[in-house]
């Protein structure tokens, strides 16, 4: 009897061990499936080794020495540089249709490659049917690699698609070397799908620099490829 009870105990122990192994195997399979289906945190795809941003390299190799020569600067740290780009889209119809805000947010995400921030009204204005805290726009602040990539795409692809474009007016500078550009249509960006967002939206883009004055700010952006409007040459009056 004792031998039979011992055999039964060993059988039970083996069965429990097999059940534990099977349960552990199921957990491992589930964890692998979850790892495959979960959205990865951070950048979706890592940058390749040795990747260099074209505009950032151009600033270091060509723009920086040219600015030092033009303004007689002894240190490269004294040269003006671009620190950030701020993009704003106002969505006035979001007061009545919140889906318009979602469309603008999706478009700005495609344009900038970064998740936008929803901007809300700071105070109530009865004439505009606006209450404090209502969502009225979206905003994105780009720095580093995304800033240079957006600037490159804006100058190379988007600006040539502006209708009747004659150059950016230098009067758009704010006196401290920062350039504010207002666009009537966001369809100039090739990332925007015309079928999903047929309505043209205006947007404001601010290029923030460390220039301190308009002269250095214009020289910096002009060397980087910003197409400014050339001053009109007045022809002498015919005698």
Question: For 169-184, what is each residue's pLDDT tens digit?
Answer: 888 998 899 999 998 8
pLDDT (0 to 100) of residue 44:
46
Give the CATH number of domain 54-90+108-115+138-224: 3.30.1440.10
Question: For 88-134, what is each residue's pLDDT tens digit?
Answer: 998 877 777 778 888 888 889 989 888 888 888 877 877 767 677 77
Question: For 221-239, what is each residue's pLDDT tens digit?
Answer: 999 999 988 777 666 665 5
Asked whether the whole model's pTM tops 0.75, one would answer: no
Q: Of 70, 55, 75, which Cα lies nearest the Cα of 218? A: 70
Confidence of residue 28 (pLDDT cuts 50, 70, 90): low
Q: Which positions ≥6 away from 129 have C-beta within 8 Å?
A: 95
> Are the C-beta atoms of 199 and 107 separated by less than 8 Å?
no
Comparing 89 with 52, the larger pLDDT belongs to 89
Judged against a pLDDT cut of 80, whether residue 54 lies above it is answered with: yes
Domain extent listing, the chain: 54-90+108-115+138-224
Question: For 147-167, what is each residue's pLDDT tens digit?
Answer: 999 999 999 999 888 888 888
Interatomic CA distance for residues 118 and 98, integer angstroms: 12
Judged against a pLDDT cut of 60, whether residue 218 lies above it is answered with: yes
pLDDT (0 to 100) of residue 186:
87
Using CA atoms, how far residue 110 sits from 107, 127, 165, 170, 194, in Å, is 5, 34, 24, 28, 13
């Amino acid at each position: 009897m004792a031998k039979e009870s011992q055999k039964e105990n060993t059988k039970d122990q083996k069965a429990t061990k097999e059940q534990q192994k099977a349960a552990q195997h199921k957990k491992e399979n589930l964890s692998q499936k979850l790892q495959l289906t979960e959205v990865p945190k951070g950048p979706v795809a890592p940058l390749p080794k040795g990747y260099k941003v074209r505009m950032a390299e151009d600033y270091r190799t060509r723009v920086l020495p040219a600015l030092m020569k033009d303004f007689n600067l002894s240190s490269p740290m004294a040269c003006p540089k671009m620190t950030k780009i701020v993009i704003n889209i106002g969505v006035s119809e979001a007061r009545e249709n919140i889906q318009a805000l979602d469309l603008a947010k999706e478009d700005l995400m495609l344009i900038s490659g970064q998740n936008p921030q929803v901007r809300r009204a700071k105070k109530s204005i009865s004439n505009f049917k606006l209450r404090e805290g209502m969502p009225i726009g979206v905003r994105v602040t780009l720095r580093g690699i995304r800033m240079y990539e957006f600037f490159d795409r804006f100058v190379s692809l988007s600006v040539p698609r502006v209708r009747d474009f004659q150059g950016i007016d230098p009067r758009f500078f704010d006196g401290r070397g920062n350039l504010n550009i207002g666009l009537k249509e966001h369809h100039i960006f090739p990332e925007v799908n015309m079928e999903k967002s047929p309505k043209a939206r205006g947007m404001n883009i601010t290029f923030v620099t460390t220039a301190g004055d308009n002269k250095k700010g214009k020289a910096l952006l002009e060397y980087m490829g910003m197409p400014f409007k050339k001053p009109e040459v007045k022809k002498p009056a015919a005698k």
